[in-house]
Amino acid sequence: MPRSTRRRPAPTHPATEEIDLFDVLHALADPTRMTIVRVLRAEPERACGTFPVDVAPSTLSHHFKVLRESGLITQREEANRRFSALRTADLEHRFPKLLDTVLAAHAHADTRTHAAPGSEATS
């Protein structure tokens, strides 16, 4: 049986001026989505199935949709793969230093959570 030649629709992204602070904060509140954002902060672009997260493919697709619709990431198709990238410039224009602040707070919370028992994390 031949494969379908029907292509999935191209992902849609909000315009920079339509990025809403509460949508961004909601997207960043999930640990899986935060992992995706942290990876994309370190790498300019990455194929969607290559992130270090332990969720089902359908769940991962949902997380990418939330990130894309909130304005945090952009996605593009290349052959049969979808690549994601942070919209760093758009986010910085819309909400200066927000992404840096949230990522720093998340990293700080991670170090406090993973501190050895009996040790005090410093602020």
Mean pLDDT of the chain: 88
Q: What is the pLDDT of residue 123?
A: 45
b vs e for 59-74, b when ≥16 Cβ sit within 10 Å of the residue's Cβ? Answer: ebeebbebbbbbbbbb
> Rounded to whole angstroms, how far apart are CA atoms 81 and 75?
10
Q: What is the pLDDT of residue 6?
A: 62
In this structure, are residues 85 and 44 in contact, taking their beta carbons and an 8 Å threshold?
yes
For residue 113, is pLDDT > 70? no
DSSP H or E stretch at residue 74: strand 73-78
Q: How many residues does the chain have?
A: 123
Burial class (CB in 10 A: 0-12, 13-18, 19+), 42: exposed
* pTM of the complete model: 0.83
